[in-house]
């Protein structure tokens, strides 16, 4: 355990130098599984730090743009190698600071290495297109050029993978970056910057500034030298960032949460569905944009599903993520736990609770933000716990009489991230895949999970702008220029 004197004071990284707090306010971060464990102190910069970081990024933008794309990709390959060497250290830091289990942390490290390798390869696939001209003797083609300096705003729930699936495509496309991560995961953010230092990324190409959410995020979105914003966080903050950036016609990519549903039809493998719901709802303590939050089940199999799901939930071991026997870690911090507990009180009025329902206390839980897996049955599709994003290990079970009513319930929400459908009927698979209002559909699988070479994102209040991951991600950080060549 660290004492106060041992805990580091993290620093901004601007223009290739570590920059101290310089009189700004400082926040502390404690291990969410053991609040006696002080992880470190985080400087809370103001808009002036954004000005300094953007100027540093803008100064080297031309030189980085002139670096050949394959050479930019080689730096990402180098980062992937360094991360592989430091995988255990980074995973331990991730669990201690964010709270997820060590197995989940190792999974995030592996995913991040795959992200880096994929986008490193994009350095050799970086190209435009050719077109036949309607006029003889004319050649028409496009070239992709970087946007310039971009602003990245990232969350605390996947503090390694989400930043890298923004940073990697932005860099390989030739952009310079000002990055504002969550202050809750400064130790992981610090580790990311050190990966790029070890890979000899030129100074000023990647700049890191800590600050208070909307205040610093607004300054980044409003800065005239920042030409694109990629943002992942809440809908409420995202709408303000989006509006600010739109005033200057910046490119914007926002991912802002979900209220994901699993549809279980009467012909489904109910045991398989129950396991998938438990994994999607309770792993990562429900703190992911693709987490299962609603289960929409046909009446005929509802009792069987709820019984099986409740058994899975009660069997989960909740505790410190550093313990390899733990299945589910704590919530991220006290405000997040308070939010979840408020929804549990709402759920008691809106459904029948089958398990969980209150904060865990006692040995192993008394110094952390622990809430057990919680299930509410017989919930209306219009209930608050079926409509609002909770971002915790809470599931609302909605019983419906038919396939059509299941689709209507799934679509009857402002979010549109992922939906899963469990059925053996190929006709219903095709109809659901076409009719569901979401960005990702899973068939007979959990709502969670994405592959690095495949576009990822949602619709409605979940997301706006180009998809992340896959080839779409690189295109977001580029401008296409058309060239007509005559004789």
Token pair recorded at residue 200: 């000899």
* Cβ density class 109-134: b for 16+ within 10 Å, e for less: bebbbbbbbbbbbbbeebeeeeeeee
Residue 468 DSSP label: B
CA distance 8 to 18: 13
CA distance 274 to 290: 17
The reply to whether 438 belongs to the active site is no
The reply to whether 254 belongs to the active site is no
Catalytic residue among 289, 350, 438, 478: 289
Select from 171, 170, 150, 167 the least CA-distant residue to 227: 150
Beta bridge partners of 44: 25
Catalytic residue among 108, 122, 255, 468: 255
Residue 308 and residue 271 in contact, taking contact as beta carbons nearer than 8 Å: yes
CA distance 310 to 314: 6
Angle between helices 161-172 and 69-85 (to 10 degrees): 160
CA distance 163 to 207: 12
CA distance 445 to 448: 8
Q: Are strands 149-153 and 459-460 parallel, antiparallel or unpaired?
A: unpaired
CA distance 75 to 79: 6
Locate tokens 């600010």: which residue? Answer: 244
Rounded to 5 degrees, what are φ and ψ at 433? -60, -35
**How do the residues of the chain divide into helix, strand and coil, expressed in percent and rounded to 5?**
40, 25, 35
Residue 376 and residue 353 in contact, taking contact as beta carbons nearer than 8 Å: yes
Select from 390, 288, 376 the least CA-distant residue to 337: 390
CA distances from 181 to 188, 213, 343 (A): 10, 9, 27
CA distance 193 to 199: 10
Residue 128 and residue 144 in contact, taking contact as beta carbons nearer than 8 Å: yes
CA distance 149 to 393: 38
Give catalytic residues, as residue numbers: 255, 289
């Amino acid at each position: 355990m660290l004492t106060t004197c041992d805990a580091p004071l993290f620093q901004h990284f601007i223009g290739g130098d570590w920059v101290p707090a310089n009189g700004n306010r400082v926040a502390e971060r404690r291990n969410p599984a053991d609040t006696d464990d002080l992880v470190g102190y985080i400087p809370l910069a103001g808009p002036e730090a954004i000005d300094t970081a953007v100027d540093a990024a803008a100064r080297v933008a031309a030189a980085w743009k002139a670096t050949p794309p394959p050479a930019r990709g080689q730096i990402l390959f180098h980062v992937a190698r360094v991360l592989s060497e430091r995988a255990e250290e980074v995973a331990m830091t991730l669990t201690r600071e964010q709270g997820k289990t060590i197995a989940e942390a190792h999974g995030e490290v592996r995913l991040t290495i795959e992200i880096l390798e994929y986008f490193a390869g994009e350095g050799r696939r970086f190209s435009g297109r050719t077109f036949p001209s309607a006029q003889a003797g004319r050649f028409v083609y496009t070239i992709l050029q970087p946007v310039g300096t971009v602003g990245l705003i990232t969350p605390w729930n996947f503090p390694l993978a989400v930043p890298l699936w923004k940073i990697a495509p932005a860099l390989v496309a030739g952009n310079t970056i000002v990055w504002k991560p969550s202050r809750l995961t400064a130790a992981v953010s610090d580790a990311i910057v050190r990966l790029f230092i070890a890979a000899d990324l030129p100074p000023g190409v990647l700049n890191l500034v800590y600050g208070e959410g909307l205040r610093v995020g607004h300054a980044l979105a409003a800065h005239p030298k920042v030409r694109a914003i990629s943002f992942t966080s809440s809908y409420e903050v995202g709408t303000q960032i989006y509006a600010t950036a739109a005033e200057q016609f910046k490119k914007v990519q926002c991912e802002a949460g979900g209220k994901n549903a699993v549809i279980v039809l009467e012909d489904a493998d109910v045991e398989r569905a129950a396991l998938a719901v438990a994994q999607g709802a309770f792993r990562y303590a429900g703190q992911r944009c693709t987490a299962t939050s609603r289960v929409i089940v046909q009446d005929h199999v509802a009792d069987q599903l709820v019984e099986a799901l409740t058994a899975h939930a009660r069997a989960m071991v909740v505790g410190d993520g550093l313990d390899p026997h733990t299945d589910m870690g704590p919530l991220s911090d006290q405000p997040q736990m308070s939010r979840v507990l408020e929804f549990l009180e709402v759920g008691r009025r809106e459904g029948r609770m089958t398990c969980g329902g209150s904060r865990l206390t006692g040995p192993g839980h008394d110094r952390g933000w622990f809430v057990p897996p919680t299930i509410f049955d017989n919930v209306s599709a219009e209930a608050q716990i079926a409509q609002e994003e909770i971002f915790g290990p809470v599931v609302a079970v909605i019983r419906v009489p038919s396939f059509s009513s299941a689709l209507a319930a799934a679509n009857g929400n402002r979010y549109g991230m992922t939906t899963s459908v469990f059925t053996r009927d190929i006709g219903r698979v095709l109809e659901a895949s076409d009719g569901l209002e979401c960005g990702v559909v899973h068939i007979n699988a959990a709502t969670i999970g994405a592959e690095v070479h495949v576009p990822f994102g949602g619709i409605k209040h979940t997301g706006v702008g180009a998809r992340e991951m896959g080839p779409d991600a690189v295109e977001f950080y580029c401008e296409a220029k058309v060239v007509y060549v005559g004789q």
